[in-house]
A and B are shown apart, each in its own frame.
Chain A
Amino acid sequence: MPGSRMPENAENKAAVLWQPGAALPAHVMPPITRTTLALYAGGSGDHNPLHIDIDYARCAAKMDDVIGHGMLTMALLARYVTGLAPQRALKVYSLRFTGMSRVGDQIECSGSVIKLLERDGQRCAEIEVRAKRQGGDELASGSAVIAIEDL
Chain B
Amino acid sequence: MTPQDYIGRVLSPFTFEVERSQLRLFAKAIGETRPMYRDPEAARAAGYRDIPAPPTFPFCIGMNPDDPFDVLGAMDVDLSQVLHGEQAFEYFQPICAGDRVLVRREIVDAYQKKGGALKFFVLKLTFEDARSAERFCTARQVLIARDAGVTNA
Q: Which of A14-22, A39-47, A130-138 has 4 or more CB atoms under 8 Å from chain B? A: A39-47
Neighbour of B88 across the interface among A3, A42, A81, A92, CB < 8 A: A92
> Within 8 Å CB of A29, what residues of B?
31
How many residues belonging to A are interface residues under a CB distance threshold of 8 Å? 43
Closest Cβ neighbor of A91 among chain B residues = B91
CB within 8 Å of A: which B65-98 residues = 79-80, 83-91, 94
A-to-B contact residues, CB < 8 Å: 1, 3-9, 29-30, 36, 39-40, 42-46, 48, 60-61, 70-72, 74-76, 78-79, 81-82, 86-88, 90-97, 142
A-B pair count, CB < 8 Å, reads 117
Given contacts A30-B31, A39-B25, A44-B29, contact A88 B47 (CB under 8 A): yes
Closest Cβ neighbor of A32 among chain B residues = B31
Closest Cβ neighbor of B27 among chain A residues = A43
**In the bound complex, how far is the Cα of B90 from the Cα of A61, in angstroms?**
34
**A contact face: mostly helix, strand, loop, or mixed:** mixed
Closest Cβ neighbor of A78 among chain B residues = B55
User: Are A88 and B94 in touch, CB under 8 angstroms?
Assistant: yes
User: Are A71 and B56 in touch, CB under 8 angstroms?
Assistant: yes
**In the bound complex, how far is the Cα of B84 from the Cα of A72, in angstroms?**
12
User: Are B86 and A97 in touch, CB under 8 angstroms?
Assistant: yes
> Within 8 Å CB of A92, what residues of B?
88-91
- 15 A–B pairs (Cβ distance < 8 Å), ordered by A: A1-B47, A6-B46, A6-B47, A9-B34, A36-B31, A43-B25, A43-B60, A46-B60, A70-B87, A72-B29, A75-B29, A86-B46, A91-B91, A92-B88, A93-B91
Q: Tell me the smallest distance from the CB of B95 to a CB of chain A, in Å.
A: 11
User: Are B85 and A97 in touch, CB under 8 angstroms?
Assistant: yes
User: Are B54 and A78 in touch, CB under 8 angstroms?
Assistant: yes
Closest Cβ neighbor of B49 among chain A residues = A1
Neighbour of B29 across the interface among A5, A43, A96, CB < 8 A: A43
* Additional pairs, 13, CB under 8 Å, beyond known A36-B29, A44-B63: A6-B45, A8-B46, A30-B31, A39-B25, A43-B60, A44-B59, A72-B29, A74-B59, A81-B55, A82-B54, A93-B56, A94-B88, A142-B86
B28 at the interface (CB under 8 A from A): yes
User: Are B64 and A45 in touch, CB under 8 angstroms?
Assistant: yes
